[in-house]
């Protein structure tokens, strides 16, 4: 027992190092699950297995080519995933509690008022089977990802949002964008997700919601016209069939923010 304890003391640095690396890879895999990043990871594993097979069989030319690929590979992967790396760093910064003491009570009050308006509106839509797509911009600019619609710049209210999604309104097919607590624009069109394993019953609204949140930090609320269900998409994930209490909890967790959302919200692919 004493020998074991002494060995742990001598190697505490190595133990911490191994645990840190294991935790790092765990969170990388959790983040990458169900995304294009995971496909690249799988590709690297396959190529590594092929490389060791070539070495074992002494296939000199193939080993030379693979050496060259692995030499430039890390730089190519870094360039390819610059947007994803930026999103991870920004997400880590936003979740930091260091500057939370400077957050004003007015900001919390504004968020609470917005959540109340959105909750009453989307569940009215769900009851009446009115399809809707509502984007809440956070930090990332959306201009490069969307086809912009008509600028509204109005104070959010159930009446305004309902009028924008009225079937007789030419803007009702697109999404409305909420920016800095106001209804910025309507009739916007969002990029579709490229993943192929979403549930078959999900239509263009859900695919557009996931598509936008794969590319930026926006929050997208979806109301299904066919099923009358409410969903929230964020970071390429989709929480479906939310009851009113769940909706409020998840939206508050995103707007404040709160790590509970990251742990509770499942990948769109798993729904």
pLDDT digits (tens, 9 = 90+) for 204-232: 899 999 999 988 889 999 999 888 899 99
176: enclosing H helix or E strand: strand 175-179
Average pLDDT, the chain: 79
Q: Do 49 and 155 share a structural domain?
A: no
Lowest mean pLDDT among 113-117, 193-197, 251-255: 193-197
Q: Does 130 share its domain with 80?
A: no
HEC secondary structure over 36-98: HHHHHHHHHHHHHHHHHHHHHCCCHHHHHHHHHHHHHHHHHHHHHCHHHHHHHHHHHHHHCCC
pLDDT band of 202, cuts 50, 70, 90: confident
Q: Are 114 and 178 in contact (CB under 8 A)?
A: yes
| Per-residue pLDDT at 104 | 44
Residues 144 and 235 in one domain: yes
Which residues are CB-neighbours of 162 under 8 A, at least 6 positions away? 121, 124, 125, 130
Query: Does the model's pTM come out above 0.85?
Result: no
**Predicted confidence band of residue 256 (pLDDT cuts 50, 70, 90):** confident
In this prediction, residues 237-242 reach a mean pLDDT of: 90
Whether 187 and 116 map to the same domain: the answer is yes
Check whether residue 220 and residue 90 sit in a common domain.
no
Task: Report whether pLDDT(61) > 70.
Answer: yes
Q: What would the mean pLDDT of 108-117 be, rounded to a whole number?
A: 74
* Residue that is last in its domain, among 95, 112, 132: 95
Domain count of the chain?
2
Give residue-wise pLDDT tens across range 124-176. 999 999 999 999 998 888 888 899 999 999 999 999 999 999 988 888 889 99
Do 66 and 126 belong together in one domain?
A: no
For residue 51, the enclosing domain spans 2-95
Pick from 38, 62, 95: which residue ends a domain?
95
Q: Are residues 126 and 153 in the same domain?
A: yes
pLDDT bin (cut points 50, 70, 90) of residue 8 is low
| Domain closes at, from 65, 95, 125 | 95
109 and 230 assigned to the same domain: yes
Q: Which residues contact 124 (CB under 8 A, 6 or more apart)?
A: 130, 158, 162
Name the residue with higher pLDDT: 155 or 111.
Answer: 155
232 and 262 housed in the same domain: yes
What CATH number does residue 118 fall under? 3.40.1700.10
Q: What is the pLDDT of residue 268?
A: 42
Do 221 and 132 touch, CB atoms closer than 8 A? yes
| Percent of the chain whose pLDDT exceeds 90 | 30
- 137-146 residue pLDDT tens: 988 888 888 9
User: Do residue 81 and residue 114 come from a single domain?
Assistant: no
């Amino acid at each position: 027992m004493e020998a074991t304890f002494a060995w742990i003391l001598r190697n505490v640095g190595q133990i911490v190092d191994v645990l840190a690396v294991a935790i790092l890879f765990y969170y990388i895999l959790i983040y990458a699950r169900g995304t294009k990043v995971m496909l690249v990871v799988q590709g690297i594993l396959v190529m590594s297995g092929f490389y060791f097979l070539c070495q074992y069989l002494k296939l000199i030319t193939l080993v030379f080519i693979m050496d060259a690929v692995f030499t430039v590979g890390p730089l190519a992967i870094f360039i390819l995933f610059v947007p994803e790396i930026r999103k991870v760093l920004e997400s880590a910064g936003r979740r930091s509690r260091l500057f939370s003491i400077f957050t004003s009570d007015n900001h919390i009050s504004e968020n609470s008022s917005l959540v109340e308006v959105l909750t009453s509106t989307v569940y009215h839509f769900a009851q009446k089977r009115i399809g809707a797509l509502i984007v809440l911009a956070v930090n990332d600019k959306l201009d490069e990802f969307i086809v912009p619609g008509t600028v509204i710049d109005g104070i959010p209210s159930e009446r305004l949002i309902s009028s924008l999604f009225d079937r007789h309104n030419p803007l009702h097919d697109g999404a409305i964008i909420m920016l800095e607590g106001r209804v910025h624009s309507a009739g916007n069109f969002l990029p579709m997700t490229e993943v192929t394993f979403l549930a078959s019953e999900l239509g263009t609204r859900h695919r557009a919601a996931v598509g936008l949140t794969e590319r930026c930090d926006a929050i997208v609320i979806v109301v299904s016209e066919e099923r009358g269900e409410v969903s929230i998409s964020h970071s390429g994930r989709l929480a479906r069939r939310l009851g009113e209490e769940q909706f409020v909890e998840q939206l508050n967790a995103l707007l404040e923010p709160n790590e509970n959302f990251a742990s509770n919200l499942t990948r769109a692919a798993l729904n």
